[in-house]
A = this chain, B = another copy of it.
């Protein structure tokens, strides 16, 4: 049986459609140009985790792209409808918003629910080998170049996907992007977090990275638990020197980095605490 679900949001109405059917026109600027934004969240036992954080970020991405976005209350109903179809275990819920079809519509809004990829649970449990790859840009450039869409979670992820394929070709599981001047940026689909002497660090948003919803939740809870948190311009050397390094994202949660550019590394026993604080445990 097909456990995937697809819902379309059209003028305030949310409709579940056949998951095997097509939903995007060939003239839609989403598929035609990657001109749209998205969010992916975890669903556990029929409930989407931190939907408000994802909807806030979706609205922010849409605004930065000059995209129309339907009211968040409509998206919230779409999320609820999809999430409640999945009462057992975990699933990935994705929202996609495109610029629509020129001359026909100003947006297309779609949601999907999919089973987790098998390697997600594996990577959550066992950790991941990571390689660093340059994104080629200076860390301070995107803040002054809005057309480069720093901080926008857009559908144009070809480079992100190519970076993950390149990492796998090198025998690793995932990548971390580095700026031209050697600053840590983010993973292709995750935020970088590292721990040093009882403080959690993550790069500042000013360098044009996405605001991580899972990193934000982790840092809020870490603060409440008495751990230090800091936004820090880091380097690869900082990751090698750290007590632990994680790539955090909504569906995988916190994946411990067990190898960085071929050098094995530990987590000082911190991973269970980090995963507990992210709310996504193995």
**Whole-angstrom distance between the Cβ of A35 and the nearest chain B Cβ:** 5
Complex interface: chain B residues within 8 A of A145 (CB): 133-134, 136
Let me know if B157 and A148 touch, CB within 8 A: no
The answer to the question of A236 belonging to the interface, with a C-beta cut-off of 8 Å to chain B, is no
Complex interface: chain B residues within 8 A of A4 (CB): 27
Across the two chains, which residue of chain B brings its CB closest to A162?
Answer: B147
CA distance A18 to B65 in the complex (A): 30
The answer to the question of A137 belonging to the interface, with a C-beta cut-off of 8 Å to chain B, is yes
- What bracket does the count of chain A residues touching chain B fall in? 35 or more
Q: CB < 8 Å: which of B31, B138, B180 contacts A28?
A: B31
Interface string of A20-51 (1 = CB under 8 A from B): 11111111111111111010000000000000
Let me know if B147 and A142 touch, CB within 8 A: no
CA distance A33 to B156 in the complex (A): 6
Across the two chains, which residue of chain B brings its CB closest to A37?
Answer: B158
Complex interface: chain B residues within 8 A of A110 (CB): 26
Complex interface: chain B residues within 8 A of A162 (CB): 65, 146-149
The answer to the question of A96 belonging to the interface, with a C-beta cut-off of 8 Å to chain B, is yes
Complex interface: chain B residues within 8 A of A24 (CB): 22-26, 28, 31
Interface residues in A99-135 by Cβ distance below 8 A to B read 110, 112, 114, 133-135
Let me know if A33 and B157 touch, CB within 8 A: yes
CA distance A138 to B145 in the complex (A): 15
Complex interface: chain B residues within 8 A of A26 (CB): 6, 19, 23-24, 96, 110, 112
Across the two chains, which residue of chain B brings its CB closest to A146?
Answer: B166
Given contacts A136-B141, A137-B137, A145-B136, contact A158 B33 (CB under 8 A): yes
Let me know if A155 and B22 touch, CB within 8 A: no
Given contacts A22-B25, A24-B22, A24-B26, contact A148 B136 (CB under 8 A): yes
Complex interface: chain B residues within 8 A of A158 (CB): 33-36, 65, 149, 152, 154-156
Let me know if A33 and B161 touch, CB within 8 A: yes
Q: CB < 8 Å: which of B23, B141, B142, B165 contacts A22?
A: B23
The answer to the question of A94 belonging to the interface, with a C-beta cut-off of 8 Å to chain B, is yes
Complex interface: chain B residues within 8 A of A33 (CB): 155, 157-158, 160-161
* 12 chain-A/chain-B pairs, Cβ below 8 angstroms: A22-B24, A24-B24, A24-B26, A24-B28, A26-B96, A31-B155, A32-B94, A34-B157, A136-B137, A146-B162, A147-B175, A152-B158
